[in-house]
Chain A
Amino acid sequence: MLLVNEYMSTKTDVVIIGGGPAGLAAGIYTSRLGLETILIEKTALGGQVAVSPFIENYPGFTMISGAELSKRFIEHAELMGVEFRVPEEVIKLELSSETKIVKTNKDTYEADAVIIASGASRKKLNVPGEKEFAGKGVSYCAVCDGSFFRGKVVAVVGGGNTAVSEALHLTGLVKKLYVIHRRDDFRAEIALKQRLLDSPNVTQLWNTVVERIEGDTTVRRLVLRDLKNNKQYEIEVDGVFIAIGYTPNSKIAADAGVAVDKEGYIIVDKRQETNIKGVYAAGDVTGGIMQIGVAVGEGIVAAMSAFEHVTGGWYAKKKKLKAVRIDFEKFKEKEEHEKREEEKSLFKFKL
């Protein structure tokens, strides 16, 4: 049971900040290890995966939509007994004493360990017109907004995996797609890159940067600069999707004394522990390779380290673990359902 003390803060063993793959994986583990786990997510569970058009490199799934994969992560964590607080935003951390205090816009939590899995957000271009036309042609989510541009002319800015996968999602919808990148090649997997280069309605604009976004009621054109000859020119577009990289969501942690590198990524050791004992970080917020599999792996390491910290290790019995709150009934039902589905599909499988 969660205890509410006289100051009305909620006590728990572990608080996880962020409901992306790192946070959900960590939650599955801490919960199964017997730690009471509260996961706080400010927008929607699933994190960036929920808005990824498709995933082709997560082992075990040759191809799965981001929406489906995140649904599976969420269901799994829920079945294992993770308590979700959504939508709720962590606004302040107090980490210096043994009991960690996590303040949100709705509540205050006290925990023995905190796992920061707050991920990363899209970088803004920071050019004139970007703010003005946000939601009027400027977008940061192809899965959410792509269909508004059916049959239209659209640009994607960026050259990494995110930009290329968003571009691939859009090629099927739009009439013409420009991909604008400041270098002369993509920094994306060749498996993605080649498909984009082969798409008939795509034009690459290499060595090019966006200087202004212009329009009237909506975006009409981009003012670009060709870095090779330093010439400015314009292209007419109906929309622009921006995917030029990430900034870590680490400000709240840094304000509470968690060490970050010069780009703001949280610094961790091999156990995913930060400079503060009992405080762990995992996933995109720690930088490095920013992929689902890595986020999941780091989430698991953080969970195991948090478990050792809270309990003192397997045999220390520093803390009496409460009963694991896994809804085994539901778990069994789900297993049976999956088995039936599997049987059905086996039955259907004819060569």
Chain B
Amino acid sequence: MSHEHEHEHEILSEEDKKFIRDKFQKELIHPVPIKLLVSDNCEYCHLMEDLLRILANLSDGKIQLTVEKINDNWKEKLKVDKGPVILIGENNEVQYTGSPLGEEGWAFLETIVLTSNKKHGLDAYEGKLKALNRKVRIETIVTPTCPYCPHAVLTANRIAIASGGKVVSDCVEAYEFPEIADKWSVTAVPTIVLSVEEPYSGQVFVVSVPKENQLIDAILKVAIGE
């Protein structure tokens, strides 16, 4: 708690807080579990913890925040060894590897709301996504200064939410996790990688903001091994 007061001012202004409180009051329906995974030597972990605590406070108890250290279990499962990692939803279907700061902020808020009210707008595809026989991961590599990136991330997050956990959408912040970006020699964002089951094991699908049907078609294909 000691950090909260240090940063509170810088992270969100009173106006921002009011906007968020109103938005949450109007749009949150079901509880939203959020896990923050932290580690030592982590530049943004404290900032993320403070930000998420503020958001939880503004959510009237709807955001259920837990903070954990990244243990060996998580390391093995997520294939990362440092924080911050944020997991959103019953099935951890949305993941942020690195901080959703800068341009990513608004899409992060929207994702919390969509996780809660399930208004993902993908009803036509929901059946197909839920019937996937293998878990597909959408890994969207972004930078905080890229205005196009949050649109790609939000599309991926909506797909993950609609899939009920069959699809995981992971937004990777390239400067905090250069080792992941380097894996595919990413030099332009958003770069979208599709992996099956194992994190960061797949191939680049596209370097741009895809349309939702293009991305869903590609997911259905990689799931059956095409």
Q: List A residues at the B interface (Cβ < 8 Å).
A: 43-44, 46, 50-51, 67, 70, 86-87, 89, 105, 134-141, 143-145, 147-149, 217-219, 239, 333, 337
**Residue on A nearest B189 in the bound complex, by CB:** A144
- Interchain CB contact under 8 A, A136 and B185: yes
- Interchain CB contact under 8 A, A44 and B148: yes
> How would you classify the secondary structure of chain A's contact residues: helix, strand, loop or mixed?
mixed
- Interchain CB contact under 8 A, B148 and A144: yes
Q: List B residues at the A interface (Cβ < 8 Å).
A: 15, 103, 143, 145-151, 174-175, 181, 185-189, 191, 204, 207, 209, 211
**Residue on B nearest A215 in the bound complex, by CB:** B185
Report Cα–Cα, A217/B204, bound state, in Å.
13
The number of A-B residue pairs with CB atoms under 8 Å apart is: 73
* Given A46-B147, A141-B188, A135:B204 Cβ within 8 A: yes
**Residue on A nearest B155 in the bound complex, by CB:** A87
By a CB distance below 8 angstroms, the chain B residues around A89 are 211
Report Cα–Cα, A145/B191, bound state, in Å.
11
**Residue on A nearest B146 in the bound complex, by CB:** A144
- Interchain CB contact under 8 A, B143 and A147: yes
Could you list 14 further interchain pairs (A-B, Cβ under 8 angstroms) beyond the known A136-B187, A144-B147, A144-B149?
A43-B148, A50-B147, A67-B103, A67-B145, A67-B147, A70-B147, A134-B188, A134-B207, A135-B186, A137-B187, A139-B188, A144-B188, A144-B189, A239-B187
Min Cβ gap B3→A in Å is 25
Min Cβ gap A5→B in Å is 22
Report Cα–Cα, A70/B148, bound state, in Å.
13
- Interchain CB contact under 8 A, B187 and A141: no
By a CB distance below 8 angstroms, the chain B residues around A239 are 187
**Residue on A nearest B187 in the bound complex, by CB:** A148
Report Cα–Cα, A105/B48, bound state, in Å.
36
**Residue on A nearest B190 in the bound complex, by CB:** A144
**Residue on A nearest B145 in the bound complex, by CB:** A143
- Interchain CB contact under 8 A, A145 and B143: yes
A86, A144, A147, A333: the one within 8 Å of B175 (CB): A147
Report Cα–Cα, A139/B151, bound state, in Å.
19
By a CB distance below 8 angstroms, the chain B residues around A87 are 151, 209
- Interchain CB contact under 8 A, A145 and B188: yes
B148, B186, B204, B211: the one within 8 Å of A148 (CB): B186
By a CB distance below 8 angstroms, the chain B residues around A44 are 147-148, 150-151
* Given A87-B209, A105-B211, A333-B15, A139:B187 Cβ within 8 A: yes
**Residue on B nearest A238 in the bound complex, by CB:** B187
- Interchain CB contact under 8 A, B188 and A138: yes
Min Cβ gap B194→A in Å is 15
By a CB distance below 8 angstroms, the chain A residues around B143 are 144-145, 147-148
By a CB distance below 8 angstroms, the chain B residues around A141 are 146, 188
Report Cα–Cα, A306/B71, bound state, in Å.
61
Min Cβ gap A69→B in Å is 12
By a CB distance below 8 angstroms, the chain A residues around B174 are 147-148
- Interchain CB contact under 8 A, B209 and A148: no
**Residue on A nearest B208 in the bound complex, by CB:** A135
By a CB distance below 8 angstroms, the chain B residues around A51 are 147
By a CB distance below 8 angstroms, the chain B residues around A143 are 145-146
Min Cβ gap B126→A in Å is 17
**Residue on B nearest A65 in the bound complex, by CB:** B145
Report Cα–Cα, A44/B186, bound state, in Å.
21
- Interchain CB contact under 8 A, A145 and B211: no
Write 11 A-B pairs (CB below 8 A) sorted by A numbering: A105-B211, A136-B188, A139-B187, A140-B188, A144-B188, A145-B146, A148-B143, A217-B185, A239-B187, A333-B15, A337-B15
Report Cα–Cα, A337/B19, bound state, in Å.
13
Interface core residue of B15, B186, B187, B204 (most chain A CB under 10 Å): B187
Report Cα–Cα, A136/B206, bound state, in Å.
12
**Residue on A nearest B142 in the bound complex, by CB:** A144
By a CB distance below 8 angstroms, the chain B residues around A140 are 188
Min Cβ gap A100→B in Å is 24
- Interchain CB contact under 8 A, B209 and A43: yes
- Interchain CB contact under 8 A, A145 and B185: no
- Interchain CB contact under 8 A, A135 and B151: no
Report Cα–Cα, A147/B145, bound state, in Å.
10
Min Cβ gap B216→A in Å is 14
Nearest first, the 8 closest Cβ-Cβ pairs linking A and B are: A135-B207, A144-B146, A135-B188, A50-B147, A44-B147, A148-B187, A218-B185, A139-B188
- Interchain CB contact under 8 A, B191 and A135: yes
Interface core residue of B150, B185, B211 (most chain A CB under 10 Å): B185
Report Cα–Cα, A137/B184, bound state, in Å.
12
Min Cβ gap A215→B in Å is 10
